[in-house]
C-alpha cells in the first residue's frame, strides 16, 4: 500500500518507495507550486495518466547527467556547426509544454495533462520552471522544459518538430548550465537516448545527497535569458 497525501506538504520517507513499479511513493495531494517545489527538493516528481490519481515517484537508481560528462555524437556536433538555428530560453514556455503534451502514439495518450500544464506554467511564472527552445527559420522546431531550484536542474520532457531540434536545445542547455556551475541534471528514468549523451544511473541515496547540495547553492529564481544564434547563413 502506498501513502495517500493530505493537505500538508509532507511526503513519506523515500525508503517507503516501492520496488515494483520502481519508485512509486505516494498518491493524491495536488499540484500546487509549493507542493511541487517540496517534492523536487526531496528527489520526488509527479507522473500519472489522465485516468489516474496524482502519483509521486522517486526511483532507485536515478538517471542523471553530470554536465562535465556530456557526450555529443559527432553527427550532432556537425549539425550544430553547420545548420542555421537559434537557441533561446524562456521565450515560449507555454508553447514548449503544449508541444511536449501532444499525443505521440496512435492511442492519443499523454501524461502532460491540462492540470500539469497549468501547474508548471505557474512555476514558470514564479521563475522555477524553464524552457530551452530551438528555432529554425523563425519557427519553434524543438525544445524541452524542466525545473530549477538553486543550481539543480530537473529535466521533464522534450519534443522535436524538426530532426535533431530537441537535441540541439539540450546540448546548448547542458553546456550553459555547466558554465553557470550547475553540478547535476536529473533525468529521472533510464533511457537509451539519454545514455547516448552521457547520462548514467546513480543510487537514490547519492542522488538525494547531491541534489540537496545543489539546491542549496545560491541561484535566485527568475527568467533565463540565454540566446544563441548560429553564424551559418540560411
Pick from 45, 83, 233, 109: nearest CA to 164: 83
- pLDDT at 179 (0 to 100): 96
CATH of span 3-59:
3.30.70.3550
- Give CA–CA dist 100/111, Å, rounded: 10
Question: Do residues 66 and 187 touch, judged by C-beta distance below 8 A?
Answer: no
Percent of the chain past pLDDT 70, that is, above it, reads 96
Mean pLDDT of 9-36: 94
- Taking only the tens place, the pLDDT of each residue in 120-170 is 999 999 999 999 999 999 999 999 999 999 999 999 999 999 999 999 999
Pick from 36, 54, 29: nearest CA to 119: 36
Q: Is the pLDDT of residue 109 over 70?
A: no
Mean pLDDT in the chain?
A: 92
CA atoms within 13 A on the CB side of 140: 20
CA atoms within 13 A on the CB side of 130: 23
The full DSSP string for 6-58 is -SSS----GGG--TTTTTEEEEE----HHHHHHHHHTT-EE---TTS--EEE-
- Give CA–CA dist 131/157, Å, rounded: 10
26 bridge partner residues: 3, 56
In the block, which residue shows the cell 508553447?
A: 95
Q: Are 3-59 and 63-229 the same fold in CATH?
A: no
The CATH label, of 3.40.50.10300, 3.40.630.70, 3.40.50.300, 3.40.640.10, for the domain at 63-229 is: 3.40.630.70
| Residue 216 φ/ψ, nearest 5 degrees | -80, -10
Q: Is the pLDDT of residue 106 over 70?
A: no
Pick from 117, 119, 150: nearest CA to 221: 150
For the chain, domain boundaries: 3-59, 63-229
- Taking only the tens place, the pLDDT of each residue in 67-87 is 999 999 999 999 999 889 999
CA distances from 206 to 40, 60, 118, 209, 222 (A): 15, 10, 32, 5, 28
Question: Do residues 173 and 144 touch, judged by C-beta distance below 8 A?
Answer: yes
Amino acid at each position: 500500500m502506498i501513502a495517500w497525501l493530505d493537505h500538508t506538504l509532507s511526503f513519506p520517507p523515500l525508503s517507503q518507495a516501492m520496488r515494483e513499479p520502481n519508485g512509486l511513493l505516494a498518491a493524491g495531494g495536488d499540484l500546487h507550486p509549493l507542493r511541487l517545489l517540496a517534492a523536487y527538493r526531496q528527489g520526488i516528481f509527479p507522473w500519472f495518466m489522465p485516468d489516474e490519481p496524482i502519483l509521486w515517484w522517486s526511483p532507485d537508481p536515478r538517471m542523471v547527467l553530470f554536465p562535465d560528462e556530456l557526450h555529443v555524437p559527432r553527427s550532432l556536433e556537425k549539425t550544430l556547426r553547420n545548420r542555421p538555428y537559434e537557441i533561446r530560453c524562456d521565450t515560449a514556455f507555454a508553447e514548449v509544454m503544449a508541444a511536449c503534451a501532444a499525443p505521440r502514439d496512435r492511442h492519443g495518450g499523454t501524461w502532460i495533462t491540462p492540470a500539469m500544464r497549468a501547474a508548471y506554467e505557474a512555476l514558470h511564472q514564479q521563475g522555477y520552471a524553464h524552457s530551452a527552445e530551438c528555432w529554425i527559420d523563425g519557427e519553434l522546431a524543438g525544445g524541452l522544459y524542466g525545473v530549477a531550484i538553486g543550481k539543480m536542474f530537473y529535466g521533464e520532457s522534450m519534443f522535436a518538430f524538426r530532426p535533431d531540434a530537441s537535441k540541439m536545445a539540450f546540448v546548448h542547455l547542458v553546456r550553459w548550465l555547466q558554465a553557470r556551475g550547475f553540478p547535476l541534471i536529473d533525468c529521472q528514468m533510464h533511457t537509451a537516448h539519454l545514455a547516448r549523451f552521457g547520462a548514467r544511473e546513480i543510487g537514490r541515496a547519492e542522488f538525494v545527497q547531491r541534489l540537496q547540495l545543489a539546491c542549496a547553492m545560491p541561484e535566485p529564481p527568475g527568467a533565463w535569458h540565454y540566446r544563441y544564434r548560429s553564424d551559418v547563413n540560411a
